[in-house]
Copies of this chain bind each other. A is one copy, B any other.
Amino acid sequence: MTDYRTLRVALLGAGAVGSQVADLLLRHGDELADRAGAKLELAGIAVRNLDAKRDVDLPHDLFTTDAETLIVGSDIVIELMGGIEPARTQVLHAIASGADVVTANKALLATHGSEVFEAADQVGAEVYYEAAAAGAIPIIRPLRDSLAGDRVVRIMGIVNGTTNYILDRMDTEGADFADVLAQAQALGYAEADPTADVEGYDAAQKAAILASLAFHTTVPLDAVHREGITSVDAAMIESARHAGYVIKLLAVCERLAAENGGTESISVRVYPALVDRAHPLASVHGANNAVFVQAEAAGDLMFYGAGAGGVQTASAVLGDVVSAARRHIAGGVGVGESTRANLPAVPIGHVITRYQITLEVDDRPGVLATVAGILSEGRVSIATVEQTVIEASADAADPVAATGSSTGAGSARLVIGTHKAREQDLSETVERLAASGVVERVVSVLRVEGN
């Protein structure tokens, strides 16, 4: 074997990902050395509890509870503890000690990314985080490097495996949210406390990271509009299917053209959206993830793969470790994060997209005209309308009932597809519809993404 220089690697955390990273580092040492041009010596693994059960059998003498001492003198520190503290303190400690950092910690980067990257810049260290954005899917390097000469217009990502698993099961089985969530928890696809996933927090963190890279702009987490999937029910899924759509929790990162002599801006948002069944994102099933990127020159690109999982995510972490090692051997300072564009992020009200509005209305003459009038006043243009009777009325069998000109006292369901509208106009219009005498209930308002 070639006589390589040895680099000291410290691992913080030995959970689902960490234990796999340690295992691969130990098992594939020679092969990784050939790729990296340096021997990667696992100096130790810092954990909270030395006796916790691990997914993989690892040499006991590698474990320590003293992360601070382990970090000192390390060339590369892999942070896989998750959460903000003590991860933040240890990462800053590693950078200050002159190490490069590899992390999969999306919460840390989405909330303290600027602090971490600035600290690294000051000492010429690099922070690698391929595993933080979409698990095993290589998306960081394509965005940062491959598309660096292009202009990203839009990203639509399925970046949370748990919610995609739940929505996919609801779609294929017609099951309701709570039932599928319980199943997912039993199978280990969802946490006991599923809030971070089902309320979109995890996806919002990833959206902030992707948007920062794509638009060369620091995107704070609170600039990301976030809605979860807890309000999605079987009826909405069925209605979406009927209209040729599937419901996906999307992370949308969008570049908005300059208006009135201003500058360009961006919108970053996470919500359950209707996606045409012919769109490549519609065929992302189970707990898989995919990131659909539209760029001015490159056109449409899609990156697909496992969004989570210990060994899958370990692949992305080790790719970063090899990159860090190569940089150590080659010398030279890192390129840092390019945030020179610094585009402003607009609030959700400024977003322009298409909508599907589902209403329960009185089934009597003039209702459709009233609804159409309110939409028109609100600058929301109707693309499609479908009305169906949902409660039997005296003349439910009368064919004119379905056109909204019945004289019965029953209810009808009105599904309205809109042309592109401004979110603020849309939500004000929906409020006026709800307050109008003719609408019994606003069943759902969903954005339609991915023309």
Interface residues of A (CB under 8 A from B): 2, 20, 24, 28, 31-32, 34-37, 130, 136-138, 140-142, 145-151, 216, 280, 283, 295-306, 309, 311-312, 314-323, 326-327, 329-335, 338, 340-341
- Please, which residues of chain B bring their CB within 8 A of the CB of A312? 297-299
- Min Cβ gap A127→B in Å is 15
Q: A145-B322, A149-B318, A326-B335 are in contact. Are A302 and B299 (CB under 8 A)?
A: no
Q: Which residues of B contact A34 (CB under 8 A)?
A: 216, 338, 340-341
Most B CB atoms within 10 A — which of A37, A298, A303, A312?
Answer: A298
Copies of this chain in its oligomeric complex: 2
Q: Would B150 and A319 count as touching, CB distance under 8 A?
A: yes
Using Cβ atoms and an 8 Å threshold, which residues of chain B touch A298? 136, 305-306, 312, 315-316
The smallest C-beta distance from A121 to any residue of chain B, in angstroms, reads: 12
For the complex formed, measure the closest distance between the CB of A188 and the CB atoms of chain B, giving whole angstroms: 16
> Which residue among A296, A319, A338 has the maximum number of chain B CB atoms within 10 Å of its CB?
A319
Q: How far is the CB of A212 from chain B (nearest CB, A)?
A: 14
The minimal Cβ–Cβ distance linking A432 to chain B, given in whole angstroms, is 42
A and B contact pairs by CB, cutoff 8 A, 24 listed: A24-B297, A34-B338, A35-B148, A35-B149, A36-B148, A136-B299, A136-B301, A138-B142, A138-B146, A141-B145, A145-B322, A145-B323, A149-B314, A297-B311, A299-B305, A300-B305, A301-B306, A302-B304, A303-B303, A329-B335, A330-B333, A331-B331, A331-B332, A332-B332
- Contact, CB under 8 Å: A319 / B148: yes
Tell me whether A28 and B280 are in contact in the complex, defined as CB-CB below 8 angstroms, given that A141-B138, A304-B302 are known contacts.
Answer: no
Rounded to whole angstroms, the CA-CA distance of A436 and B276 in the bound complex is 53
Q: How far is the CB of A382 from chain B (nearest CB, A)?
A: 31
Q: Which residues on B sit within 8 Å (CB–CB) of A341?
A: 31, 34
From A303, which residue of chain B is reached at the shortest CB distance? B303
